[in-house]
Amino acid sequence: MKEEILFLTHKKNKEIENAIRSLRDSMGDRKLTIVSQSQPFDIEGTDLFLFDESIVQQMDFPTIGNSIIPGHAHFPVFAYIGNNKTNADYYWVIEYDVRFSGKWSVLFDHFTQFNADFLTSHIRYFHEEPDWYWWKEMNHREITISREKRVRSFNPIYRISSEAFKFLEKAFKSGWKGHNEVLLTTLLFHHGYQLLDFGGNGDFVSDRNKFYISRSSGQQGLSTGTMRYRPAMKTHGMRKNKLYHPVKEENGLGILRSNAGNFYRLIKIWFNNMRR
């Protein structure tokens, strides 16, 4: 199994450079490419692929807007893979604010035993989180997949097979557009590609809470657990071999404040569920 790692960033600072070096030093024999929005990097043992906002117009894909965020974070990844025929079987995509509280090789090596086409976090059916905002952002001029049949995921880090990439590239060029967290997951699910969750909980998990802790409110927030939308953490937590997101040293919460916030949000979720 040949794997390549793509580190996706639109920022450059010492924290991010250290994160790249940490990844490089514990990734095994995999290739590492920094996929960077207009920020040059010169880190030994890595390659560099530069892009800017114009990639949204340059790609031969329909869009839901004119900028990378929201919804088009997959565009630079697909541009890199499409332009660089590396013959990898799988591509790991890791955003700049994801951290792993262990050696990255532990995570990568564990999943070499699984042939899943799309390995990601927080995979959910529509009925599990019907209030998530981005369900609506999936469209095709001739084909319809109803909201009730859609599947979402949370993609700050994921692994995608080369076969899934080729299928999605053709699907986008055929007219499919939408937010990547519903578009990629739903299309792959409905066309027979295998989905697998890193950990957490739900129908797509092989080992509950294996590499991250999931605490979903049933809403769109993802405000608790180790893999969440927000608030940011100043550093990763103390649980061994767990994925953490978002980690932002400059404006994240310290461990004590983060844990206190988690406790408050869990109580709020429990209270809201009791009222239903």
Domain boundaries, the chain: 3-206
**The predicted structure's pLDDT at residue 214:** 83
Say what percent of the chain tops pLDDT 70. Answer: 88
Q: Is the Cβ–Cβ distance between 35 and 6 less than 8 Å?
A: yes
**The predicted structure's pLDDT at residue 222:** 83
d(CA 80, CA 36): 11
d(CA 227, CA 120): 11
Q: Phi then psi for 102, rounded to 5 degrees?
A: 180, -170
Coil/strand/helix, residue 263:
helix
- Predicted TM-score (pTM) of the model is 0.90
**The predicted structure's pLDDT at residue 223:** 80
Distances (CA, A) of 269 to 219, 229, 276: 10, 16, 11
Residue 217: which pLDDT band, with cuts at 50, 70 and 90? low
**The predicted structure's pLDDT at residue 127:** 95
Residue 68, both tokens: 């990378």
**The predicted structure's pLDDT at residue 221:** 61
Q: What class is the 3-206 domain?
A: alpha beta
Residue 184, both tokens: 């990629």
Q: Is the pLDDT of residue 113 over 90?
A: yes
